[in-house]
Structure 1
C-alpha cells in the first residue's frame, strides 16, 4: 500500500512516517512542501497514492492567510488527484477549533466541506479527523501546543505564562498516530467525520505546569517520579526530550572507604524495573528504541560508549562513560540507542526502565544507531 503524507516534515507527520516505517506492507511516498508549488510533482504524488493523509495546514499567520491557505491546500490536493485520474482515500487532519469563530477553525471547516463534496461527486473515500490537542516529543514550542511551550520554558529556566487556565482535552502523539494507522487500513467508503477520542479530558493548564515543575525537581534531586496515570507518564517522557542533552547525564557521588565504594544510582518514588548486564570487550548491546518507556543506563564497572539517535534524523549523540566516574545517561523515547564495551575488561551496566518487560507488548523496536 502506498501512503502519502502532506505536511510530513511537521510534528504529527514525522511521527506518522516513523510509525508507518515499521509496517512491512506500507510504502511512504516522498513528499516535500514544495510540491504544492510544482503541479507535476503534486499530480505524480496523488497518482501513486492509495491513501493520502493530509496534514499540511497553516495556523500561524495573518487571519485571512490562515483561512484561505487551509482551503487552498485541500483544493490543490484534490485538483491534483483529479488531474492524475486517481481517487486515493483522503484522511484529513481537522481540529476541534471548527466549533469556534476563528480563521483557523473556519478554514479547516471549509476544507472539510470541500472534501465531502469531492468524495460525493466522485464516489471516493474520505475521513475528516477532528483532532483534539496533541502533545509529545518533537512538538515545536510556541507553535504546536502549550505543552511544547511549557516544556521548553521549564527546561531552560524561562517563565511560563498562563493566559487562560482552561481545561484541555488532549491526546498523546503515540495514540493519535495509532488511530490514524487504523484509519489508513480501514475499508472506508463515502466521506465521514471521525472525532478522534482524547485520552485525557479536563486537564487544567495550571495542572500541566505544576506537573512539569515537579518533574524538573525530581530530575534535579535525582528521583525517578511516580505516575498516577498514563497521561503523567507521557507528559514526563515528553518533558525529558525538551531538556538540553547535556542534562541527560547526571554525575553521581561515590562514597569511598577501605571496603570500596558506595553509589546511590536511582531513587524511586515508585514503579519501574532495575536490571544489570555484563558485556564482553568490543560487544555492542541495544540498537533499539521505545515509544512509551523511559530508560536510564549506568556503567558501574568498565568503560563504554553510549550512543543515541532520534529516529528519522542523522545526528548521533555519544557519551563516553566509565565505572571509575559513575554517571547515568537518559534514553528518551523515540531515540534508538546502544552501548558498546570500549575497554579491555568486562563491562557491568545497571539499567532502569519505567515498566517491567512484557513479551506480549515489549515496546521495543530494532533500529541501528
Structure 2
C-alpha cells in the first residue's frame, strides 16, 4: 500500500510516519514544506491512502491560515482529481472549526472542500476534529500549552497561568496515531459525518501544571508518578521528552560506610521502594526482623548467602545467591535475617520493600540470626 502523508515533518506527521514504518508500511510518501512541490502530483497519482496533516496554527500573518489550511488542501485535492485517484483522504481539522476566528474559519473551509470533493468523486473522506494534542516531538510555543509548560519547566524557565480552573480537552499522540492507523485499515471511529479519536482527557490547567512540577521534583525525592492513571502516564512521558539532553541523568544520595553502601532508587506511596545495596567482601548486613514490613532481595553481582531464623526458633535457614543465577528471595515477616558476601569482590543486591522507610516507625528490630 502506498501512503501519502502531508505535513510529514510536523508533530502528528512525524509520529505517524514513525509508527507506519514500525508496522512495516514501507511505501510512505512524506510531503512537507521542504519537499519539492513537483513531487506532490506524482505522490497523488500513486497514493492508495492520503493522510492530510499539513497546516498552520501560529503563522506570522493571519493570511497564512487560509493559504495553507484551505489553499494547500485545494491543491492536494486538485492533484488527486487530475489523476482520477479516488483513494480515501483523511484530514486533520480541529475543534476550533466550530469557532468564528481566523484559524477556525480556515479549518472549516478545508473541511467543506473535502465534503464537496467526496460528493464530486465518491471518494471516502475522513475528517477528524482534534482537540489539543500533546506528546513527544511537539513544539513549545506552537503545538500546545502542554508542550510549552513541559519545555519551560524542564529547562527551569517560567510559565504563565492565567486561570488554573480552565479545563482543556486533550488527546495524546499515541492515541491519535492508533486511530489513524485503524482508519487506514477501514476501522475508523465515526460520529456522524466526522471521525474522532476515542480516547480523550478533560483536565484542568492547574492540575496539569501541578503534575509537571511534581515530575520535576520526583528526581529529588526518588519518586515516580502514579502511572496507573492513564493521563498521568502520558503526561509524564511527554515531560521526559523535553528534558535537556545534558540532564538525562541525576544523582542519588549514597549512604556509604566501611561495609559498602545503600542507595534508595525509587520510592512510591503505594508500591514501596527499590534500593541497591553494595556489600564489601566478607561483610554481613542485616540481623533484624519486621512485623509487617517485607522485602525482596535480588543479588545481581557477586555471591553470598541470605540467612533466616524465625524469632522463636533456633533453626537457621540458608539461601545461597549469586549474580550468575538471578533469583528473587522473599524476606517474610517474623524472621530475623541477614545477608553475607562470601566472595572477594563487592556483592550488589537490588532490594524492594513494601513501604517507604519511616524513621518514626521503622518496624525494624535487631536480633542476631
Q: 2:180 matched to 1:180?
A: yes
Conservation of the 8 A alpha-carbon contact between 2:56 and 2:65 = yes
Q: 2:42 matched to 1:44?
A: yes
Q: Deviations over 1:117-174 (max 9, x none)?
A: 1111111111111111111111100000000000011111111112344211111111
Normalised to the residue count of structure 2, the TM-score between the two structures is: 0.70
**Structure 2 unmatched runs, 5+:** 277-299, 303-344, 353-369
Conservation of the 8 A alpha-carbon contact between 2:131 and 2:169 = yes
Q: Hey, what does 2:201 align to over in structure 1?
A: 200
| Mapping 1:159-308, distance limit 5 Å | 159-165=158-164, 166-186=166-186, 192-201=193-202, 203-227=203-227, 229-271=229-271
Q: 2:119 matched to 1:120?
A: yes
Q: From the superposition, tell whether residues 177 and 192 of structure 1 become closer, same or farther in structure 2 (CA, over 3 Å).
A: same
Conservation of the 8 A alpha-carbon contact between 1:96 and 1:131 = yes
Q: From the superposition, tell whether residues 187 and 225 of structure 1 become closer, same or farther in structure 2 (CA, over 3 Å).
A: closer
Q: How much does 1:88 deviate?
A: 2.1
**Structure 1 unmatched runs, 5+:** 277-299, 303-344, 353-369
Q: Which runs of 4+ in 1 moved over 6 A?
A: 272-276, 345-352
Q: Hey, what does 2:317 align to over in structure 1?
A: none
Specify the structure having the higher radius of gyration (Cα): 2
Conservation of the 8 A alpha-carbon contact between 1:5 and 1:52 = yes
Q: Hey, what does 1:80 align to over in structure 2?
A: 79
Q: Hey, what does 2:96 align to over in structure 1?
A: 97
Aligned residues: 284
Q: From the superposition, tell whether residues 93 and 246 of structure 1 become closer, same or farther in structure 2 (CA, over 3 Å).
A: same
Secondary structure in 2 aligned to 1:161?
A: coil
Conservation of the 8 A alpha-carbon contact between 2:222 and 2:264 = no
Cα distance between partner residues in 2 of 1:132 and 1:56: 16
Q: Hey, what does 2:32 align to over in structure 1?
A: 32
Worse-superposed segment, 265-274 or 70-79: 265-274
Q: How much does 1:26 deviate?
A: 5.5
Cα distance between partner residues in 2 of 1:220 and 1:18: 34
Conservation of the 8 A alpha-carbon contact between 1:132 and 1:198 = no
Q: From the superposition, tell whether residues 22 and 67 of structure 1 become closer, same or farther in structure 2 (CA, over 3 Å).
A: same
Cα distance between partner residues in 1 of 2:163 and 2:64: 26
- Relative CO higher for 1 or 2, CA cutoff 8 Å, sep ≥ 6? 1
Cα distance between partner residues in 2 of 1:195 and 1:120: 21
Q: From the superposition, tell whether residues 210 and 256 of structure 1 become closer, same or farther in structure 2 (CA, over 3 Å).
A: closer
Q: Hey, what does 1:54 align to over in structure 2?
A: 52
Q: Deviations over 1:305-354 (max 9, x none)?
A: xxxxxxxxxxxxxxxxxxxxxxxxxxxxxxxxxxxxxxxx99979699xx
Conservation of the 8 A alpha-carbon contact between 2:97 and 2:104 = yes
